[in-house]
Amino acid sequence: LMALVALLNADPDVDGILVQLPLPKHLDSDTVIQSTLPEKDVDGLHIINAGKLATGDLKTGLLSCTPAGAMILVRQIHGKDLSGLNALVIGRSNLFGKPMAQLLLNANATVAIGHSRSRDLPELARQADILVAAVGRAEMVKADWLRPGVTVIDVGINRVAAPEKGDGKFKLVGDVAFAECKPVAQAISPVPGGVGPMTIAMLMANTVIAAHRRGGVTAPSF
Ligand SMILES: NC(=O)c1ccc[n+]([C@@H]2O[C@H](COP(=O)([O-])OP(=O)(O)OC[C@H]3O[C@@H](n4cnc5c(N)ncnc54)[C@H](OP(=O)(O)O)[C@@H]3O)[C@@H](O)[C@H]2O)c1
C-alpha cells in the first residue's frame, strides 16, 4: 500500500489521492495518510493541511471534505459570517469534529465541542444556534435538545434494523432524531442525502483545486 501511495505521489497525471477509510485492522491508517503528498491530499487529513486549518490558513491547504461540505450547508442558512452565533459540534475526531469546530470558529461563531465526557450535552445543545452532530449513535439528538430555530447538521451515519423493509433489512439514520427535530429546527440536513453527498462534492472540489495549483493557475474557491 505504501508503495502504491509513493507511485501515485510521483505520478504527474494524478492530482488527488484519497485513502479510503477504514483500512483493514493490521494497517496503520495514519502512517498511510501521512505518506500522501499534502498537495494531493484531497481528503485534507495530512498534518500539513490539518495544521494550516488549525492556524487559520484556509487558502493554501486542502480542507477536510466532510467539514468543508457541512460548512457550505451552514453558509446557505447563515451566510459567511457567523458572528454572534453559538455553535455546538458533538464529536471531537480528527476526521470531522476538530476541523468542523475550526471552520466554524474561523467564520466567527462561538464554538463549543461536546464529546463522551461532556456533562450535560442536552443543556449545551439548547444554547446552540448551529448544532452539528458527528457521534455515530443513532438518533441521539432529540427534539427537546434543540433551541427553536436552530440549524442542525447531521453527520452521523448509522445502520439500524428496518424490519418494515423485510426480514434482516437495514436502513441508514443519522445522529439526530430527524422526524421529531425537523419541526423545531430552521433547517436540518437529512441522512441519507445531506452531508454525505456534500462530502463527495467537496472531494471533487478539492481535486479541482489541487489540479489548478499543480498546473500553476488560480484555483476556484468553493
Ligand atoms: N457523511 C459523511 O461523509 C461522514 C464523514 C465522516 C464521518 N461520518 C459519520 O459521522 C460519525 C462520526 O464520525 P467520526 O469519524 O468523527 O467518529 P469517531 O472518530 O468515532 O468520533 C466520535 C465522537 O463522538 C463522541 N461520542 C461518542 N459517544 C458519545 C456520546 N454518547 N455522547 C457524546 N459524544 C459521544 C466521541 O467522544 P470521545 O472523543 O470522548 O470518545 C468522539 O469524539 C459516524 O457516524 C461516521 O460514520 C460521516
Q: Is the CB of 135 under 6 A from ligand 1?
A: yes
The reply to whether 2-63+198-214 and 79-191 are identical in fold is yes
Distance 177 CA to ligand 1 centre (A): 16
> With bands split at pLDDT 50, 70 and 90, how would you rate the model's confidence at 25?
very high
Q: Tell the CATH topology of 2-63+198-214.
A: Rossmann fold (3.40.50)
Q: In Å, what is the CA distance from 141 to each residue of 33, 62, 89, 103? A: 32, 30, 12, 22
**CATH number 3.90.226.10 is the correct assignment for the domain at 79-191:** no
What is the pLDDT at residue 40? Answer: 98
> With bands split at pLDDT 50, 70 and 90, how would you rate the model's confidence at 136?
very high
CB distance 70 to 82 below 8 Å: no
Q: Is the CB of 133 under 6 A from ligand 1?
A: no
Cα distance between residue 59 and residue 80, in whole Å: 15
Cα distance between residue 208 and residue 36, in whole Å: 17
> With bands split at pLDDT 50, 70 and 90, how would you rate the model's confidence at 88?
very high
Q: In Å, what is the CA distance from 68 to each residue of 2, 88, 203, 222? A: 27, 16, 9, 9
For atom 47 of ligand 1, the residue with the nearest CA is: 157
Residues 175-204 pLDDT 10s: 999 999 999 999 999 999 999 999 999 999
What is the pLDDT at residue 51? Answer: 98
How long, in residues, is the chain?
Answer: 222
- DSSP-derived secondary structure letter, 46: S
Q: Is the CB of 138 under 6 A from ligand 1?
A: no
Mutate to test the pocket of ligand 1, among 18, 64, 71, 96 (most ligand atoms within 8 A of CB): 96
Cα distance between residue 4 and residue 23, in whole Å: 14
Distance 105 CA to ligand 1 centre (A): 19
CB distance 90 to 175 below 8 Å: yes
CB distance 5 to 32 below 8 Å: yes
Q: Is the CB of 14 under 6 A from ligand 1?
A: no
Copy the grid coordinates of residue 9. 505521489
**Per-domain residue ranges of the chain:** 2-63+198-214, 79-191
